[in-house]
Amino acid sequence: MVSSKLADGTRARGDTVARIRPYANRSPALPNDRLWWICFVSFASLGFTQVGLLFSSMGGVLAPAIFLGLWLLTAMAHPTQSIAQVVRARLPLTLPLLACASTLWSRDAPYTIKIGSEFLIVMVIAVYIGHRMAPAKLISALTVATVMQMLASLVFNRHEDMFYAGNEALVGVFGSKNFMGYMAALCSLLSLATVAERNQPQLVRLVAAGGLVIGPILALQARSLDALAALAVGFSVALFFIFVATLPSRFRTLVIASVAVMLVATLLAFLLIGAQLGQILELVGKDSSLTGRTILWQRAGDMIHLNPLLGVGYNAFWRQGFVEAEGLWRQLHVDSRTGFHFHNLYYEVRVEMGLVGVLVWGTFMASTVIACLIRVLREPSPSTAFFIGFTLFTLARMWLEVEMMGPFDLAPILFAIGWTYATAPQPMARAGATPPRRPQNMPMLEVATTQDLPRPKTRAL
């Protein structure tokens, strides 16, 4: 056996020796850490939009600009790879592309193309995030951001009068009690997934534990019935699959089948007690018209005829100067004449985007829920449990809210990210985690044989 010291200090033994130059002081976690802070700052800015509006009108512009600027600069670092990743995600982009196309028949074309373009850019960023960032990192960043928003709401402690119930509801740093309830519910779902993820940093899990406590409490103080009901659905489903992830594989199918039977029985029970809805609403301080929502739904049904197939244009109905919108604002005492909707996703999409829009939005949402469900059945984990819980949480709210329509709404962003994760070919635990690139000066694997080593001098006999 030959042993010799090579030029770089490597000692060669046997017939071959592999000389591998390791990364020099390079931490593979560094890119993910940088993305974590970008994610935290960008999503926190979206939530704090309403805080800025409390002080100046620029607050509503600054927060979206921060979100767009941070992610566009991040994507520009590797433009070719970013474009290739986005082009493959056709389904999530059908929503904003249809919104932009509705400019051709919109009643307010300049506004439609403006909002539609913002929607398109945001959805492109959402797909990019899904390809670039690991699920656990994303969820932890969103958890810390929403917990900060909850703490800020406690500090501001703003309330609004509920004249129909004779009490007050917490608004916090947001524009309405319904959005306050929505963010508190989202904080609860995120905190649950972060606490259950053992690989999260201890400090992040500690923050999430606080969010798991204050989230449901603030949701109750917001007195948002739809947020509380949807939270019960999403939280229960997420908690169930987190529990399933702890079971041995041989027991998971039996447990899931048993719970599915119980869910069907529960659904039938809810249908049987539907006749008592009026008494339930009175118990939680709601009037039988759901604070005027039934009036909106009736009027929306009458206005579908304006353009049954294509609608009046993306975000083109609730505009000042249009007779139909002005009449509803006047009837429901909305003095600001801005920031209103039909409080039902189907009616909102049907009036603005027509039957084509209903098919596009419905296909995207149904496909995302099915993909997330298949993924969580195959790979139960806190991350997959969060996304199936969140998608069902959103579906439960679609009958009373319209979070899937705004360009900077969190729901379409998280749906697009969830769809990207759930349809990725690799396991979700590694989805979105782009492997670190090898430095350009790192050589390929070099092999030295005994032929390359200096031969020992032999003495002639």
In terms of Cα–Cα distance, which of 55, 67, 59, 36 is closest to 408? Answer: 67
Buried/exposed 83-95: b ≥16 CB within 10 Å, e otherwise = eebbeebebbbbb
Note the pTM of the prediction, 2 decimals: 0.80
DSSP code at position 10: P
Listed range (98-112, 118-132, 172-186, 255-269) with the worst mean pLDDT: 255-269
Contact 328, 340 (CB under 8 A): yes
pLDDT on residue 461: 46
| Spatial distance between the Cα atoms of 177 and 189, rounded to a whole number of angstroms | 18
Average per-residue pLDDT for the chain: 79
In terms of Cα–Cα distance, which of 87, 77, 75 is closest to 129? Answer: 75
User: Residue 16: pLDDT above 50?
Assistant: no
In terms of Cα–Cα distance, which of 263, 38, 11 is closest to 129? Answer: 38
pLDDT on residue 89: 81
pLDDT on residue 428: 63
Contact 230, 397 (CB under 8 A): yes
Q: Which of left, alpha, beta for 435 (phi over 0: left; psi -120 to 50: alpha)?
A: beta
Residue scoring higher pLDDT (252 or 417):
417
In terms of Cα–Cα distance, which of 417, 428, 394 is closest to 234? Answer: 394
Predicted confidence (pLDDT) per residue in 20-51, tens digit: 333 333 333 333 478 899 999 999 888 766 55
pLDDT on residue 277: 47
Q: Residue 210: pLDDT band by 50, 70, 90 thresholds?
A: very high
Residue scoring higher pLDDT (47 or 115):
115
| Spatial distance between the Cα atoms of 228 and 170, rounded to a whole number of angstroms | 14
SS3 303: helix
Listed range (224-228, 250-254, 391-395) with the worst mean pLDDT: 250-254
pLDDT on residue 88: 79
User: Token match 């975000």: residue?
Assistant: 315
Contact 53, 175 (CB under 8 A): yes
Task: Give the Cβ contact number of residue 118 at 10 Å.
Answer: 18
| Spatial distance between the Cα atoms of 176 and 157, rounded to a whole number of angstroms | 13
Structure token digits, residue 171:
């608004």
Q: Percent of the chain having pLDDT more than 70?
A: 74
- The angle at the Cα of 280, spanning 276 to 286, to the nearest 5 degrees, equals 130
Residue scoring higher pLDDT (295 or 204):
204
User: Residue 90: pLDDT above 60?
Assistant: yes
SS3 167: strand
Calculate mean pLDDT across residues 161-187. Answer: 81
- Judge residue 207's burial from the number of C-beta atoms within 10 Å of its C-beta, 0-12 exposed, 13-18 middle, 19 or more buried: buried
Residues 6+ apart with CB under 8 A from 441: none
State phi, psi for 310 to the nearest 5 degrees: -115, -10
Q: Residue 54: pLDDT band by 50, 70, 90 thresholds?
A: very low
Instruction: Please report, as a single letter, which amino acid is at residue 376.
Output: V
Instruction: Please report, as a single letter, which amino acid is at residue 126.
Output: A
User: Residue 100: pLDDT above 60?
Assistant: yes
Residue-range domain boundaries for the chain: 32-257+283-432
In terms of Cα–Cα distance, which of 238, 229, 223, 232 is closest to 190? Answer: 238
pLDDT on residue 49: 61
DSSP code at position 437: P
pLDDT on residue 459: 54
